[in-house]
Amino acid sequence: GGSIINFSSISFMMADTGYVTYITANAGIVGMTRTLAREFGADRIRVNAVAPGWVLTEKQKDLWVTPESLARHLARQCLPDPIQPDDMSGTVLFLASDASRMMTSQTLILDGGYISSSTMVHKLPRPGSPWTGERRTCAPGRWVRPARCWRRPVQRTAWAS
């Protein structure tokens, strides 16, 4: 038996722009985790992943964190505290321990609730739109309104014959 713990990121759930390679790689790690769990399960090797949000490592602080960006990010988390590197250790120790003996093929999200309260703001409604508030995407081609998603109406063109 044993335990393999992969690291991904919540980025693959967000469909953000400018990070195609990074997002694709993180989605691949989740797929690999699930596949390896099936491959190695017969040998009682558990394979899981951790997908953290914005962990404030020294590199993050040196290169990208500004007071404004951190405030915006924390405002979108359910838990309004920055994720520290030490916050990862309990999750990893749990996955490595016998407490997770029957847990495999899972990805644990450690993001302070960012994903559950965060959808990418698309644009504000046009004047006269039935929308109130911000438009938010929840999946390609879908819009979010409180507590549900639905398809955006498709513009159909009538072709003359």
Does 22 qualify as catalytic in the annotation? yes
Q: Measured in whole angstroms, how far is the alpha carbon of residue 110 from the centre of its chain?
A: 9
Q: What single DSSP character describes residue 111? A: S
CA–CA separation, 133 vs 56, rounded Å? 31
Closest Cα partner for 30 from 105, 118, 113?
105
Overall pTM > 0.75: no
Question: What is the tens place of the pLDDT at every residue in 87-125?
Answer: 999 999 999 999 999 999 999 999 999 998 755 444 444
Report the percentage of the chain scoring pLDDT > 70. Answer: 73
Among candidate residues 2, 7, 16, 22, the one labeled active-site is: 22
CA–CA separation, 8 vs 47, rounded Å? 13
